[in-house]
Chain A
Amino acid sequence: MSASAATRRHVLPGFGVSLGVTLAWLGLIVLVPLAALAIRPWELGVAGVIRTLAEPRVLAALRLSFGAALLATAIAAPLGLLMAWVITRYHFPGRRVLDALVDLPFALPTAVAGLALTALFAPNGWLGVPLAAIGVQVAYTPVGVVVALVFVALPFLVRTVEPVLRDLSPEAEEAAATLGATRPQTIRRVVLPTLWPALLTGFGLGFARAVGEYGSVIFIAGNVPMVSEIAPLLIVTKLEQFDYPAASAIGLAMLLMALLILFGLNLWQRALRRGRA
């Protein structure tokens, strides 16, 4: 097929321009810079990269970042499901306000969120005082990291589950009821299975955001090395020491691990959809 034939294949005009702009935009802003990240660590040699990542402080930071992100998203999942259920299924005064507030973490700058959570959970904060009374300290501990990440991940879960729940026709549930299913049976066997793929999508989005989160975390975390220091902060520290290769090694490791987990979630979700089809 000649070049002219290939271009006239498109019915609507503007293919060349729009794809050109898209590729330039994507290439210059995203792909070339990410290529720099993929290349830079190897100045250290393979052994050097492994040595950098095997440093106890680096390992501890990666463990905290990924562990806290997974835990926080796992906590946010049932909470998000509950919120989505309440927003879509029930009518009560203030539902609209609740609905709008869910997006707050999307719209609130991360540094503000971090500051706010710190003020709230600090030993003299509104929630810090009662929590201290029962012997729980949130601010300046790994618990604080998890709390901040739940805040960040929650809207992703609500907003991905919500449309599916809204579109779910009541007829399927009514059919289940006519067939003699109890309400819990209906929810477990009819409603939840259709929500799984959306929940997984939301989990992936929330996790991706949480694992790299910086602004909402660093104020509340206390940033004690080996205890409450997250990986992104360690990257900043390395950069401030002008240790570019180490910073990029940690960055690359983070990015690859995150993408791997997202890819795994994607496969799981595909298997679920296939199983249903």
Chain B
Amino acid sequence: MTVEVVNVVRRFGATAALEGVSLSLRPGEFAALLGPSGSGKTTLLRILAGLDFPDGGEVRIAGADVAAVPARERGVGVVFQNYALFRHMSVAENVAFGLRVRARAHRPPEAEIQRRVRELLELVQIPELAGRYPEQISGGQRQRVALARALAIEPQLLLLDEPFGALDALVRKEVRRWVRGLHERLGITSILVTHDQEEAMEMADRLAVMEAGRIVQFDTPRALLEAPATAFVAGFLGEATRLLVRIQGRVARASEFGLEDIAVELPDGEALLFLRPHEVRIEPAHAAQGVVRFVRPEGAGGARVLAEIGGRMIEGISTTEPARGDACRIRLLSGTVFHSEGGQFRWQRQEAWATR
């Protein structure tokens, strides 16, 4: 089922929650809306669910304009943030709800409803909980009930609003792999809203990164990491050291921090230099350029190192394991420079020995 959002605008009073958002999903795709709180991702999800309505723009599901179709007629499955299970109904009654409220002409007979509920509970692997009430089961189990309930109406589109937020860290990892696996089996076009980049990166085919009511980039996880469209995306995804540098005569003056200058194809002005840990090599040295402050050992004798240089902390990788307080040298392998007035440059050290 395709989903198309074109130029959608939503205002709450004077503030705009969505400022012209466009998004296009392929059938069967698993997409994630990722952004800090207040970036508009939940508003967009609610508009797709029919729980909110845009002030402008179009929303098309399977080619049909649904902007004015209320939630009850959309057939979009929603897993709510806190699951919103009906607390006075048993698990089975929760799952059956969407079938029981159908108009009599479309309502399956009771035996058929029972059968479908059993099937769905088996699908989400909790058939033994049918008679329990929401308060009597764990967070992870509630999550499965919410999913089964949403799937009961055979949705063409499944929306998941921070569905793992209420789970503890261990359960969360397991449940999200299971949900992704379920998606592989059912093939329902799905959209996940989350502020957790690790979760989005792991689960989604493509991610829409949102900032202040706009989608700043919609791409695969790898593309987002390797070619972030803006400094915001670069900063939001993955770890990075961020340095504010001046550009003068096609050179980014990283030497102000005791690093080497970087040649860039950008005009004069201010810029942000992003350095991912794997782009920075920390090496032992006698002439102290920097000092090792924190060390986290990693496999194969190497370590993740936080070094202080020119009053800044820079995170990088060392092939050996230095000790705290050791003198060190910092060598940059690559980095991304974002000019404050737009424009970016991907810098890469040319020497062959740099990538050893």
Contact = CB atoms under 8 A, between A and B. Distances in A.
A11 interface: yes
Interface in B57-75: 68, 70-72
A8 interface: yes
Contacts of A8: 53, 68, 70
Contacts of A11: 50-52, 70-71
A5 B68 CA distance: 8
A6 to B, nearest CB: 10
Interface string A193-227: 00000000000000000000000000000000000
Interface residues of B, number: 9
Contacts of A13: 70, 72
Nearest to B51: A11
A5 B53 CA distance: 9
Contacts of B51: 11
Interface in B211-228: none
A9 interface: yes
A68 B53 CA distance: 55
Contacts of A4: 68
Interface in A4-22: 4-5, 8-9, 11, 13
B71 to A, nearest CB: 6
Interface residues of A, number: 7
Interface in A144-179: none
A11 B78 CA distance: 14
A60 B51 CA distance: 59
A8 B70 CA distance: 8
A13 B72 CA distance: 10
B76 to A, nearest CB: 13
Contacts of B53: 5, 8-9
Nearest to B50: A11
Interface in B34-55: 50-53, 55
A235 to B, nearest CB: 46
Contacts of B52: 11
A101 to B, nearest CB: 32
Contacts of B68: 4, 8
Centre residue among B51, B52, B70 by max chain A CB count within 10 A: B70
Contacts of A5: 53
A9 B71 CA distance: 11
Centre residue among A1, A8, A9, A11 by max chain B CB count within 10 A: A11
A4 B72 CA distance: 18
Nearest to B67: A8
A208 B124 CA distance: 56
Contacts of B55: 1
A5 B11 CA distance: 14
Contacts of A1: 55
A1 B53 CA distance: 12
The 10 A-B pairs of least Cβ separation, nearest first, read A11-B51, A8-B68, A8-B53, A9-B53, A11-B71, A11-B52, A8-B70, A11-B70, A11-B50, A13-B70
14 contacts: A1-B55, A4-B68, A5-B53, A8-B53, A8-B68, A8-B70, A9-B53, A11-B50, A11-B51, A11-B52, A11-B70, A11-B71, A13-B70, A13-B72
Interface of A: 1, 4-5, 8-9, 11, 13
